[in-house]
Chains A and B, each alone.
Chain A
Amino acid sequence: MTLLTVENAHTYYGKIHALKGISLTVEEGEIVTLIGGNGAGKTTTLNTITGIVPTAEGRILLNGDDITHTPAHEIVSKGVVQSPEGRKIFTRLTVRENLEIGAYQRNDSAGIARDMAYVFERFPRLKEREKQLGGTLSGGEQQMLAMGRALMASPRILLLDEPSMGLAPLLVAAIFDVITYLNRENGTTILLVEQNAAMALIVANRGYVLQSGRITHADDADALRNDPTVIEAYLGGH
């Protein structure tokens, strides 16, 4: 079943035409990745879906319902949750408070407590630092917190923006482990934006390649991994 559909979306930043007609679909239970160079429009695509930037033209459908002009905070309550680029954790809130903010739209205190316990089990470092301010965490810990915070929203579809950016290789592997785990065990649908295209195409079912605000390739992840132009441009040749 198609969970998320973007139809011919156009987005502008002032006079800059950032998205020039993006169309993509994400099926329930899939991991779909968006790859592309800097400024290709990957983050803008996520921001357009979650209503952070307005869609100038085109439609965004969630489960068939039009959410194109729904305010950002209401889109969250429909189960579409974005973990923004650069982690963007709240530095002046404690680790626990950051996680509680993730669950802001929820009212099921039992479910929230269960998910909190799950996050702490998954990331023991966060448990150790529960009462510390977010700003005192290391980069890797902040990324774990950002993932944990997104989990606390109990999303149907999680939009992850560069979760591995700036992390040591070992941590990158750990983050991708969590992504796979979430998808397999929790059934969370994931739309993954990654600079690290090689890793992304390993965990993903399908992928889209973005270039200058347009989709240039759309295929199964395996096919994209073997596509000569994709290899040339995004997988470092060979």
Chain B
Amino acid sequence: MSKGSRAVRFRGGGLGLFIQSPLHIVGTAFLLFLVYVAVSNIAAGDYTLRQFLQNLIFGLAQGSIYSLIALGYTLVYGILFMINFAHGEVFTAGAYSGFFTMYTFAQSGFLQENTLIAILLTFLSGTIASVMVAVALERVAYRPLRNAPRLVPLITAIGASITLQQLYLRLFGASARRFPDINLYILPDVFTDLECRVVDGVEQCLGMDIIGGIYPVEIFGIALRLRPISFIVFFGALFIMWALWMFIQKTKTGRAMRAVAEDKSTSALMGINVDRVIVTTFILGGALAGAGAVLFVIIPGNGQVNPLMGFFPGIKAFTAAVIGGIGNVPGAMFGGLFLGVAESVGPSLLGISNQLRDVISFGLLVLVLIFRPTGFFGEVLSEKKV
């Protein structure tokens, strides 16, 4: 420990455990300031439990999508020790493919008649498109550089990202396209008073609209307005993550992925085709991003598809992966949810504009990097990895 940090420790008093470098003073001051603002807002009654619950549920849905994308970053990092900066564009591919599929269904009337099938096929097409882009990236941009110094594929990744953005721009045009509105009604016999309209003088109730609907709900005397889609996205994403976890832990290919992540040349000695395992990793990351993209555009209000749309979810998910500890699968799941909730709950808690939610995300990233550079779940990097 250096002289300077000892002095800091003294000044830090009770926070001594926290403060080990001058940078930690800045971080701690910032953290205390945030807590102060939040507490004073709550004390002044400017912040209510209703707001919190409302934002929490929205944040969990948004965050679970971040988690899905973050897993793509973390899986690839775990095996190749590189950041696939073009992963946001893998997400965009899924969104466009999903959009075109759903748009076609909406135009032809298939969406209105077979809504559930249309949604499932949209997921399929979004996932396939993202997987194809991810695999192409690996083949064209990364595999030829497998033995190059680590900075080289990083630069290529940024180049690939810009190339794909420009490709989408030329192929699909610069204007944003609106994802079709979807209404999926369920259980008309249970929710007899929902989505009622008068057709030819007769009142008809369709039941709960679990995609486009928003309904007042009272929980513990607190009146909320909730979208069923938030729960579907959240639990759908959790299910996908569970399936991924089982795949990595229980299957032969998952075992090979973990072996390759630890030691490529010994894995090859065991008869593992390392290149094939790497491709599998990109396929998994792409599939998660594609599913995430369709979940993202299906949420009413998010439904804009444009060539640059992958940038922000991509950079947020990367942030989430770093917060959780890059290379760590549960870390990416946690990081995404944490970030989603923080940027949803944060603005109103701190009494700032909702436009500033990105500042909260990246501010949190800075704080995590100050206090725990390896992320919440990250292990200290071994020399071999560095």
Contact = CB atoms under 8 A, between A and B. Distances in A.
Interface of A: 50-52, 71-73, 76-77, 81-82, 84, 88, 90-93, 97, 100-102, 104-105, 149, 153
9 contacts: A51-B268, A52-B265, A73-B271, A76-B270, A91-B262, A97-B255, A97-B258, A101-B267, A149-B270
B262 A92 contact: yes
B91 to A, nearest CB: 29
Contacts of B259: 90, 93, 101
B256 interface: yes
B258 A84 contact: no
B333 to A, nearest CB: 18
Given A52-B265, A88-B263, A104 B258 contact: no
Nearest to B266: A88
Nearest to A92: B262
B265 to A, nearest CB: 6
B82 interface: no
Contact of A104 (B252, B262, B263, B265): B252
Given A88-B263, A90-B262, A93-B262, A101 B256 contact: yes
Closest A-B pairs by Cβ, 4 of them: A76-B271, A105-B271, A72-B268, A88-B266
B269 A104 contact: no
Nearest to A102: B270
B269 A52 contact: yes
Contacts of A153: 270-271
A104 B268 contact: no
Interface of B: 252, 255-256, 258-259, 262-263, 265-274
B225 to A, nearest CB: 46
A149 B263 CA distance: 15
A133 B252 CA distance: 17
Contacts, number: 59
Nearest to A159: B269
Contacts of B265: 52, 84
A153 B271 CA distance: 9
A92 B269 contact: no
User: Could you tell me the dominant secondary structure of chain B's interface residues?
Assistant: helix
Contacts of A84: 265-266, 269
Given A52-B265, A90-B262, A90-B263, A77 B271 contact: yes
Contacts of A73: 268, 271-274
B325 to A, nearest CB: 14
A50 B267 CA distance: 12
Nearest to A149: B270
Contacts of B266: 84, 88, 90
A81 B258 contact: no
A93 B250 CA distance: 12
A82 B267 CA distance: 11
Given A90-B262, A93-B255, A93-B259, A52 B268 contact: yes
A90 B265 CA distance: 12
Contacts of A72: 268-269
Given A97-B255, A100-B255, A101-B256, A81 B262 contact: no
B328 to A, nearest CB: 11
Contacts of B274: 73
A48 to B, nearest CB: 13
Given A73-B274, A90-B262, A92-B262, A81 B269 contact: yes
A97 B259 CA distance: 9
A71 B258 CA distance: 21
B147 to A, nearest CB: 12
Contacts of B252: 100, 104
A146 to B, nearest CB: 10
Contacts of A101: 255-256, 259, 267, 270, 272
Contacts of A102: 270
A36 B53 CA distance: 71
> Which of A51, A100, A101 has the most chain B CB within a 10 Å cutoff?
A101
A97 B265 CA distance: 17
Contact of B270 (A71, A91, A92, A104): A104
Contacts of A97: 255, 258
Contacts of A77: 271
Contacts of B269: 50, 52, 72, 76, 81-82, 84, 88
Contacts of B255: 93, 97, 100-101
Most buried by A among B256, B268, B271: B271
Contacts of A88: 263, 266, 269
A97 B256 CA distance: 10
